Structure 1
């Protein structure tokens, strides 16, 4: 009998491996206010996971977005990272994947310095990280690292898995519900990371 290949599991970061909602929303408010924009928590929270530029552009004129991005990223490392926590079951899941000879790759829309800062803070250590990628743009990194599955909370993550030709496991810990994740291409949808290992 042929032994199965060890899994190479790709993970999104925000609202998949870590609960970053409070910090992201606070830094978005800060960046918007500095440049004359405003939004409610209810407007900002569903945007988590999408590219920062796109999110800020919803509330600011085009000529203010670049400066707001810089201010967001400066405040993020100081104000958001310390209040970010690992999702329940994240550490145990990563350990279980490695116990099976597998590898863990984090592929996120966040820039890599912020990814590393968050992972270091919460004590999660993947085997590889790729940043500044969203939706179908994540597929190249998933293929490069030989991912066999991609786990995420966003419809863009399920589009990434589909573009990479691997199963997408949706978790309903972020802004999108089971129906939205399935419509975006999820092979399976679970309520949290504690249910992922059984699906690999």
Structure 2
């Protein structure tokens, strides 16, 4: 049996929530407000990296910080109610708790808006850390001693690797299963619906692996 309960980190967009409808609506509203064309259909196929990376496709670099502030201010009234949980999201958090562990959300999303999503959907992790992308996610994963990180993007794989955590991925975002495997994911699931069974088997088969992040 495990010598101490596991801490599991989760990404947010396209891992726990389907943020495409809300982000799509927010980009359309931003385009109308700024008078700048944004292909919202294209933008939501590239979710994962920080907002500023997407905005650089549509706005001069010097304008991006101010435009990002406008987007984030508009976001709560446009995107929160439009965004559903992905299938299995609640059950995945509950599976970690049932194992006696802690669930933390580590995301590139602006932290206040990430918390609004989770509150609206009734998803209650033990901690939420925002504004971290790819390898930078390792900072929070190490701080919380996460031995597993669950995400949907190759950037999430890099974050898990940098933290010495097991990289568990779900093929529900912009990166398909082959791309996630090629990036070095340890586990590729079709979606979070498969996570509770995987976690149970993992804890039974390799209990020592969840004690702490790998060196």
**TM-score bracket, shorter-length normalisation:** over 0.9
1:122 — aligned with what?
121
Contact 1:35 1:64 in 2 (8 A): no
The alignment partner of 2:105 has SS state of strand
Query: Which residue of 2 is the match for residue 134 of structure 1?
Result: 133
Match of 1:10 in 2: 9
Give the equivalent residue in structure 1 for 2:91: 92
8 Å contact 2:37–2:58 — kept in the other structure? yes
Q: Which runs of 5+ in 2 are unaligned?
A: 200-215
Q: Does 1:188 align with 2:190?
A: no
Task: Return the TM-score normalized by structure 2.
Answer: 0.88
Aligned to 1:76: 75
Q: 2:205 matched to which residue of 1?
A: none
Partner of residue 169, structure 1: 168
User: Pairwise CA RMSD of aligned residues?
Assistant: 1.4
Is the CA contact 1:112–1:131 (under 8 Å) kept in the aligned structure 2? Answer: yes
Mean alpha-carbon deviation: is it higher for 124-133 or for 30-39? 30-39
Distance 1:3 1:172 in 2: 28
Partner SS for 2:49: coil
Gaps of 5+ in 1: none
1:57 & 1:37 partners in 2: Cα distance? 12
Number of matched pairs: 199
Cα 1:199/1:5, change in 2 over 3 Å: farther
Distance 2:125 2:30 in 1: 30
**Residue 105 (structure 1) aligns with:** 104
- 1:85-140 per-position Cα deviation (integer Å, ceiling 9, x unaligned): 11111111211211110100000001211111000000000001111000000001
The alpha-carbon deviation at position 66 of structure 1 amounts to 1.8
